[in-house]
């Protein structure tokens, strides 16, 4: 495999440079003196930012974008084998890496690489850890799967001591990483268009854990069923966390304020005690904060720094994100697109001030919708009123014979009010006619459903 070195800058070309992750990697290489070029289908704020920093970007993917002076090409799993640039790379014999492989190579350039994995909560936990390290003034380099409000972006180029990144299990991409410290938040069924079953997913996380070196550390949710199977053959120390006693780090004395923001006492080894108040609502955010606290204690960071950063934590875009208010209706946007995530978000919403709760849900991918149809219905029925948009296909082309109407039938069968509309315009009109002052409206999903709330607010 091609090895990059920050002390030996080369010319790297990104196929699909405008993606949120690819653009961040390109920015880091630019800051290290690499020559960067790339292509994307259209201009965006991310590509404009890269152009300002010195990247050469072509719009439209063509064979002649692959010039002979390119040393390395980076691409994502979304690039098809018949992509003209990809074909040109193969014909010219230019070295290439996947996005995950490049990220793994870059992790080797840092003293302490920290990788946060799990089926849910990766972005929020990565953001919490990032804010703590920023508060401690460690000058970390950051790679986050969403826009972190405290830095106004998804990447931060810092020093060579700390590198913090999300580690996604989809297509086993995190097995290309080289972390020193790994975090496993949870392990549940998802991405069943790639994984065979839950056991296959567990095997993948076990392989991730075994990547950690002897002088590293694994921080794992002790509430994962038979978590010890995931830590077998791991060379490094293992630290557990969970809600309630029985783990190395645990939350006790949990209370909530009037907006659902929790306070708790984090208890740990050797009499460790840290009172914490979170800036974001929901018990799931306690589960996200515990590994961040455990990591901070392991690294020897100051307790005051940790509690201050978590209390000021504003979160990332699309994670229980307050968008605004219109006609007395509060609009929140959330990225939840798995039944467990929906359950966590609606549980947090239940503690948020409101008269009625409307949830506009856009299912994400046909395969996930079909695999979890009954689970989606059960989770969504916690809302008083559900409005469904069409399934967001993302990378998929086969409908598998499933549609949002099937989900509507399941939800109605549980006695929950549920409506389906094929267009955003129809959904917006329904909401304008039915939502009244005091109601809480949540737009939810991993696609473009956030546009509905933004259209209503005129932003």
Catalytic residue numbers read 122-123, 166
DSSP one-letter string for 140-169: -EEEEEEEETTTTEEEE---SSEEEEE---
8: left (phi over 0), alpha (psi -120 to 50) or beta: beta
With a CB cutoff of 8 Å and minimum separation 6, the contacts of 151 are 130, 134, 142
Q: How far is CA 284 from the centre of its chain?
A: 14
DSSP-based three-state secondary structure for 428: helix
Please name every residue paired with 58 in a beta bridge, in sequence order, or none if there are none: 39
Residue 202 CA to residue 208 CA, distance in Å, equals 10
First to last CA, the chain: 46
- For CA atoms 142, 144, 147, 153, the dihedral sign is positive
Burial classification of residue 139, based on how many CB atoms lie within 10 Å of its CB (0-12 exposed, 13-18 middle, 19 or more buried): middle
DSSP-based three-state secondary structure for 263: strand
Q: How many residues does the chain have?
A: 459
**Residue 54 vs residues 11, 23, 30, 163: alpha-carbon distances, Å:** 12, 13, 7, 23
DSSP-based three-state secondary structure for 183: strand
């Amino acid at each position: 495999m091609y090895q990059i070195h920050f002390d030996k800058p080369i010319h790297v070309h990104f196929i699909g440079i405008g993606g949120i992750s690819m653009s961040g990697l390109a920015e880091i290489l630019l800051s290290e003196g690499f020559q960067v070029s790339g292509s994307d289908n259209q201009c965006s704020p991310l590509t404009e930012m890269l152009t300002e920093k010195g990247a050469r970007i072509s719009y439209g993917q063509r064979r002649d974008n692959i010039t002979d002076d390119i040393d390395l090409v980076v691409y994502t799993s979304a690039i098809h084998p018949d992509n003209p640039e990809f074909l040109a790379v193969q014909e010219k014999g230019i070295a290439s890496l996947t996005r995950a492989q490049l990220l793994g190579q870059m992790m080797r350039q840092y003293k302490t690489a920290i990788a946060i994995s799990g089926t849910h909560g990766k972005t929020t936990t990565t953001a919490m850890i990032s804010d703590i390290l920023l508060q401690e003034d460690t000058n970390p380099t950051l790679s986050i799967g969403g826009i972190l409000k405290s830095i106004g972006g998804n990447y931060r180029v810092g020093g060579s001591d700390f590198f913090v990144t999300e580690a996604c299990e989809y297509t086993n991409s995190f097995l290309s990483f080289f972390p020193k410290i790994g975090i496993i938040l949870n392990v549940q069924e998802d991405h069943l268009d790639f994984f065979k079953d839950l056991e296959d997913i567990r095997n993948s996380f076990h392989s991730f854990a075994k990547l950690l070196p002897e002088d590293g550390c694994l921080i794992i949710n002790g509430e994962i069923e038979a978590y010890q199977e995931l830590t077998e053959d791991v060379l490094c120390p293992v630290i557990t966390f969970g809600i309630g006693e029985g783990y190395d780090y645990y939350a006790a004395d949990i209370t909530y304020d009037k907006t659902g923001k929790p306070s708790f006492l984090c208890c740990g080894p050797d009499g460790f005690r840290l009172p914490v108040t979170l800036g974001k609502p929901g018990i799931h955010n306690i589960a996200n904060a515990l590994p961040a606290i455990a990591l901070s204690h392991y690294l020897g960071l100051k307790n005051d720094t940790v509690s201050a950063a978590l209390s000021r934590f504003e979160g990332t875009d699309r994670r229980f994100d307050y968008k605004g208010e219109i006609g007395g209706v509060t609009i929140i946007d959330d990225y939840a697109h798995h039944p467990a995530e929906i359950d966590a978000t609606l549980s947090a919403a239940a503690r948020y001030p409101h008269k009625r709760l409307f949830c506009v849900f856009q299912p994400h991918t046909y395969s996930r919708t079909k695999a979890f149809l009954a689970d989606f219905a059960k989770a969504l029925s916690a809302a008083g009123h559900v409005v469904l948009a069409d399934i967001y296909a993302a990378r998929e082309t086969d409908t598998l014979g499933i549609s949002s109407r099937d989900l509507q039938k399941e939800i109605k069968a549980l006695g929950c009010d549920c409506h389906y509309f094929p267009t955003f315009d129809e959904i917006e009109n329904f909401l304008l006619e039915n939502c009244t002052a005091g109601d809480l409206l949540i737009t939810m999903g991993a696609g473009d459903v956030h546009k509905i709330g933004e259209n209503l607010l005129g932003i």
